Amino acid sequence: MIRISAMRRLAIGQGRGLLAAVLVLGTPAMAQDAPPPAPRMIAPAAATIANPQPDHPAYADLILAIESAVDKEAVLGNAMAVVGQQLRADPNVGAAEAVSPGLVDEILAGMRPVIDRHNDRVAKDYRPRMMAAMADYLTPEEATDVAGFYRSDLGRKLMSGVISNYNMESVIAAGMKEQQVTEAQVRGDITEAVTKGMSQMDKSDIEAIGREALANPALMKLQRIAPEINRLRTQMENEPLSPADDAEIVQVVEAVFAKRFAQ
């Protein structure tokens, strides 16, 4: 018998990874240590600021700048690929796929609107918290400077390389096992993507990123924000599907099997 609960767990893991990446992958991408020959970017000890303008629109604009640098379709495609691999690795699902090729892809296609809705809901809920975290460490002027980097050709090239290597494998695996996603898993997925993405960039681009970080104090501050962002991202990735979305996932799986394996 096919385990529909496994399908739901995979769906939750997929949704978690996507919404986290779109909102905040950009912060660790700049804050992580880069592989050689990039310079090691070390910021001073974390220190919040007494920000008189925590509601300044510059923080919302910074989140939008990071989002605009992320190819959402690429993130979703990477996640779908990992979910598909894990589904096919299940003996029952794999056997059903062998008899009815395309079954897994049809299930994933049916899940996608549910995951998109889940992503939108959680992203909306967490966006103010992300902005507040930025405001704890960056002045409005610094937030504007960082947003400018992520809108630049160099910033977008950095994010493109990271996103192309970001597959959320640890996060999705945790969802499959009905485990809480840990901060270490979140950090591990991001670190792997950043390391691979930067290793594929031209030496001149990596050096340019290093010069940009050293010349722009606001970018250097991103290391200070990273722990708080990672904490929020972990919370986001542990947000469950709503009861309605969970029920819809069940309906999708049952409908696909009923169509392909009619009694």
Residues whose CB falls within 8 Å of the CB of residue 147, separated by 6 or more in sequence, listed in order: 58, 61, 62, 64, 65, 66
- Give the SS3 label for residue 52: coil
pLDDT value of position 191? 81
Q: Is residue 218 part of a domain?
A: yes
- Amino acid type, 107: I
- Is the backbone peptide bond immediately before 37 cis, with ω within 30 degrees of 0? yes
pLDDT in tens, 146-185: 999 989 998 888 888 888 888 777 777 776 676 788 888 8
Q: Is residue 33 part of a domain?
A: yes
Q: Is residue 263 part of a domain?
A: no
- Amino acid type, 91: P
The winner for highest mean pLDDT among 61-75, 99-113, 212-226, 240-254 is 99-113
| 159, 29 contact by CB (below 8 A) | yes
Q: Is residue 185 part of a domain?
A: yes
Q: Is residue 46 part of a domain?
A: no
| 19, 236 contact by CB (below 8 A) | yes
pTM of the model: 0.77
Q: How confident is the model at residue 5 (pLDDT cuts 50, 70, 90)?
A: low
Q: Is residue 64 part of a domain?
A: yes
Residue 116 gets which letter from DSSP? H
Q: Is residue 200 part of a domain?
A: yes
More confidently predicted of 255 and 49: 255
Q: Is residue 61 part of a domain?
A: yes
> Got the DSSP string for 152-217?
SHHHHHHHHHHHHT---HHHHHHHHTTPPPPHHHHHHHHHHHHHHHHHTS-HHHHHHHHHHHHH-H
Q: Which domain holds residue 27?
A: 4-40+51-258
Q: Please give the tally of structural domains in the chain.
A: 1
